């Protein structure tokens, strides 16, 4: 064992000998254990006389010794002055525990290298909780994937029969048109056809919600996305005589999944047109800005507005708000918007006053 000019233990504060919550011990330049505090005995199960003079590799499980981890720790600490990691350690009982370890190089007053100090903290409970959390996260991911797969598969399997019902209702309507004078029967056939169409929309929305669950992040231009949506909805915009006010000066771009940002904006713009006030032409204001780590997207309208008690449930899937105006829909739109925003670690808020309009604030991250 290499000898220092003065005992290596003298570099070790006396208070360390009283610490019990951490295993703290000293090594010489070759990794031989020189000191052993009470925390070492409590954590590792060895008494001082059992380990002092032994190489510290005895405290590693065999699979880490086979990988030469003790030697690698020593080499890194000697070169860089410090080595830290989280890994398995082996106490006397043989039952492995998860530990946070720090190995620090020690030099004397003249800068001469004399050995190391090793500090170990038992992180078994933290590791256990972390692993349990990760397991739950993986379970939720699998459940979410299974749910989306079910929704997509179910919607796909239902398309054929509902298309048949729609086709048969049209055929029946055509066959009865000149043969039956009973208006009641004609109305029933028409209601059957309209119900088939509504069910078809629900199925399409189910498939869309499932498909849009995951997407890659890319930089998006708000103006380009809105321009594309305005082109797609040009007939509805023209019919409603909707007017747009846009301001992207503060935040013209956002890093976001392409389909997600398109779906968010398209649903909000569609709703602004769909739920327009019968008393005036719809005006839709879109503004972006930066705030508290988010890109804030605000979409405001001068439509019918939302009752206070309805503000929370509008973001649930398949929830629709009752109002005096009959508006066709499945209740997927805002539910899908909330799902996409929250799924990307953002949040959504709404400010609204009945008869004046609504403002949706989308915090994108």
Which residue ranges does the chain devote to CATH 1.10.287?
A: 124-211
Question: Rounded CA gap, 46 and 89, in Å?
Answer: 13
**pLDDT at position 136, please?**
79
**pLDDT at position 308, please?**
86
Q: Is the Cβ–Cβ distance between 254 and 219 less than 8 Å?
A: yes
According to DSSP, the residues that pair with 113 across neighbouring strands are: 107
Residues 99-133 as b/e (b if ≥16 CB within 10 A, e otherwise) read bbbbbebbeeeeeeebbbbbbbbbbeeebeeeeee
Residue (of 295, 165, 148) closest to 209 by Cα position? 148
Question: Rounded CA gap, 338 and 309, in Å?
Answer: 18
Question: Looking at domain 8-122, which of 3.40.50.300, 3.40.109.10, 3.40.50.970, 3.30.450.20 is its CATH number?
Answer: 3.30.450.20
Question: Rounded CA gap, 360 and 39, in Å?
Answer: 57
Residue (of 154, 235, 223, 208) closest to 317 by Cα position? 208
Sorted by sequence, the CB contacts under 8 Å of residue 107 that are 6+ apart come out as: 113, 114
Its CATH architecture, for the domain 215-365, is 2-Layer Sandwich (3.30)
Task: Kindly give the parts of the chain with pLDDT less than 70.
Answer: 1-19, 140-141, 144-157, 178, 180-182, 205-216, 317-332
Question: Rounded CA gap, 37 and 117, in Å?
Answer: 12
Which residue ranges does the chain devote to CATH 3.30.450.20?
A: 8-122
Residue (of 296, 298, 294) closest to 345 by Cα position? 294
Question: Rounded CA gap, 249 and 109, in Å?
Answer: 60
Question: Rounded CA gap, 17 and 40, in Å?
Answer: 10
Question: Rounded CA gap, 365 and 359, in Å?
Answer: 19
**pLDDT at position 14, please?**
57
| 3-state SS class at 298 | strand
pLDDT tens for 312-331 read: 778 875 455 545 444 454 44
**pLDDT at position 199, please?**
75
Burial tier of 29 (Cβ tally within 10 Å: 0-12, 13-18, 19+) = middle
pLDDT tens for 226-284 read: 999 999 899 899 999 999 999 999 999 998 988 889 889 999 999 999 999 999 999 99
Its CATH architecture, for the domain 124-211, is Orthogonal Bundle (1.10)
Which residue ranges does the chain devote to CATH 3.30.565.10?
A: 215-365
**pLDDT at position 318, please?**
47
Question: Rounded CA gap, 33 and 31, in Å?
Answer: 6
Rg, Å, the chain Cα set: 34
Question: Rounded CA gap, 323 and 304, in Å?
Answer: 9
Beta-strand ranges (E) seen in 125-270 are: 217-221, 243-247, 253-257
3-state DSSP percent of the chain in helix, strand and coil, to 5: 50, 25, 30
Q: Which long-range contacts (CB under 8 A, 24 or more apart) does 6-9 make?
A: 6/108, 8/34, 8/106, 8/114, 8/115, 9/34, 9/35
Question: Rounded CA gap, 357 and 301, in Å?
Answer: 5
pLDDT tens for 113-137 read: 999 999 999 988 888 887 888 887 7
Question: Rounded CA gap, 24 and 44, in Å?
Answer: 11
Question: Rounded CA gap, 205 and 335, in Å?
Answer: 11
């Amino acid at each position: 064992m290499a000898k220092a000019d003065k005992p290596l233990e003298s570099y070790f504060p006396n208070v360390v000998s009283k610490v019990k919550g951490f295993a703290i011990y000293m090594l010489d330049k070759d990794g031989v254990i020189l000191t052993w505090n009470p925390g070492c005995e409590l954590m590792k199960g060895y008494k001082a006389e059992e380990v002092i003079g032994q190489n510290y590799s005895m405290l590693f499980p065999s699979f880490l010794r086979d990988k030469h981890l003790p030697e690698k720790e020593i080499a890194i600490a000697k070169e860089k002055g410090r080595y830290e990691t989280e890994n398995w350690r082996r106490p006397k009982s043989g039952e492995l525990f998860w530990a946070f370890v720090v190995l620090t190089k020690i030099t004397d007053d003249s800068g001469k290298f004399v050995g190391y100090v090793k500090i170990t903290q038992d992180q078994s409970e933290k590791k256990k909780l972390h692993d349990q959390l990760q397991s739950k996260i993986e379970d939720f991911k699998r459940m979410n994937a299974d749910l989306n797969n079910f929704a997509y598969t179910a919607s796909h399997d239902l398309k054929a029969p509902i298309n048949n019902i729609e086709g048969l209702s049209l055929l029946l309507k055509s066959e009865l048109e000149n043969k039956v004078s009973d208006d009641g029967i004609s109305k029933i056939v028409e209601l059957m056809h309209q119900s088939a169409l509504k069910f078809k929309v629900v199925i399409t929305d189910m498939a869309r919600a499932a498909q849009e669950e995951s997407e890659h992040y890319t930089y998006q231009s708000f103006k380009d996305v809105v321009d594309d949506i305005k082109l797609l909805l040009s007939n509805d915009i023209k019919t409603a005589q909707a007017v747009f006010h846009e301001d992207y000066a503060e935040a013209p771009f956002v890093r976001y999944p392409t389909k997600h940002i398109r779906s968010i904006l398209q649903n909000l713009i569609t709703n602004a047109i769909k739920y327009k006030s019968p008393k005036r032409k719809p005006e839709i204001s879109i503004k972006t800005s930066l705030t508290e780590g988010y890109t804030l997207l605000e979409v405001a309208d001068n439509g019918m507005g939302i009752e206070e008690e309805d503000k929370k449930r509008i973001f649930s899937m398949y929830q629709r708000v009752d109002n005096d105006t009959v508006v066709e829909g499945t209740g997927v739109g805002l539910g899908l918007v909330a799902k996409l925003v929250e799924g990307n670690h953002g949040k959504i808020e709404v400010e609204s006053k009945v008869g004046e309009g609504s403002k949706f604030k989308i915090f994108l991250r």
